[in-house]
Copies of this chain bind each other. A is one copy, B any other.
């Protein structure tokens, strides 16, 4: 588990995320505030736990670099991955204000997070409504993704679930500039996929084979290749067209 804050290595003024299409430009005042709001960074290596269910954290986070995932565990040992977190995503707001975290977070690669003290969130709300609005927007977007996930677990078959998840992850990677020429590095294992989709490792493996012979994608050696976007979307039972669903936000 990560404890101490790391001094900042990336000044907000040069934040690489600001270039992403997802983000609106900040005003000078906002930028200055955010920069002062950022207390430091968290650096974690592949496999490390960033925070654990039941612990308290004085900080809210933003993922600056790398991949991680949020998960919950059941007393009987079962693990459910809730979602994967991409650069620019908020982390830790779920537990809201000063309560125990209800989930854990683990790094899939080496990661850098920006840490913001929870007790200054009120400052942000009172002085920068625009930023407050952005926070709400991010929260609402992640709620939408959770909804879609719930639909997957509840109503899609294992093949559809798998197709949906891989397509979703690819599209998010693409939006974050982590995909190139239909290819993206997926730094997780079949076990992670199984834990996300609520299925066993063995069944995940079999279903993955079935999906592979559809020819819509390839996933080998940590590299995911999207071969037929529309085909995979059809298998995933995507209902909206891709443009509607992913309007480059």
**A residues with CB within 8 A of B:** 54, 70, 72-76, 78-80, 82, 93-97, 100, 102-103, 122, 125-126, 129-130, 132-133, 135-137, 139-144, 146-151, 153-156, 195-198, 237, 239-240, 244
Docked-complex contact A122 and B126, CB < 8 angstroms: no
Docked-complex contact B94 and A151, CB < 8 angstroms: no
A151's partner among B72, B129, B132, B142 (CB-CB below 8 A) is B72
The 7 closest A-B pairs by CB, nearest first: A154-B198, A78-B155, A153-B153, A96-B140, A80-B154, A125-B129, A126-B129
The answer for the CA separation of A142 and B196 in the assembled complex, in Å, is 20
Docked-complex contact B237 and A147, CB < 8 angstroms: no
Docked-complex contact B148 and A150, CB < 8 angstroms: no
Docked-complex contact A153 and B94, CB < 8 angstroms: no
Instruction: Give the residues in chain B near A137, CB-CB below 8 Å.
Output: 96-97
Closest B residue by C-beta to A156: B74
Docked-complex contact B140 and A150, CB < 8 angstroms: no
Most buried by B among A79, A151, A239: A151
Docked-complex contact B148 and A237, CB < 8 angstroms: no
Docked-complex contact A237 and B76, CB < 8 angstroms: yes
Minimum CB–CB distance for A171 against chain B, Å: 15
What's the number of copies of this chain in the assembled complex?
Answer: 2
Docked-complex contact B150 and A80, CB < 8 angstroms: yes
The answer for the CA separation of A125 and B133 in the assembled complex, in Å, is 7
Docked-complex contact B94 and A144, CB < 8 angstroms: yes
Q: What are 8 contact pairs spanning A and B, CB under 8 A?
A: A54-B240, A74-B151, A80-B155, A97-B137, A100-B244, A139-B139, A139-B140, A146-B147
A140's partner among B78, B93, B100, B141 (CB-CB below 8 A) is B93
The answer for the CA separation of A54 and B126 in the assembled complex, in Å, is 34
Closest B residue by C-beta to A78: B155
Closest B residue by C-beta to A135: B136
Most buried by B among A75, A94, A100: A94
Instruction: Give the residues in chain B near A54, CB-CB below 8 Å.
Output: 240
Instruction: Give the residues in chain B near A75, CB-CB below 8 Å.
Output: 237, 239
Minimum CB–CB distance for A33 against chain B, Å: 14
Docked-complex contact A147 and B198, CB < 8 angstroms: no
Minimum CB–CB distance for A94 against chain B, Å: 5
Docked-complex contact B237 and A72, CB < 8 angstroms: no
The answer for the CA separation of A103 and B156 in the assembled complex, in Å, is 16
Closest B residue by C-beta to A72: B151
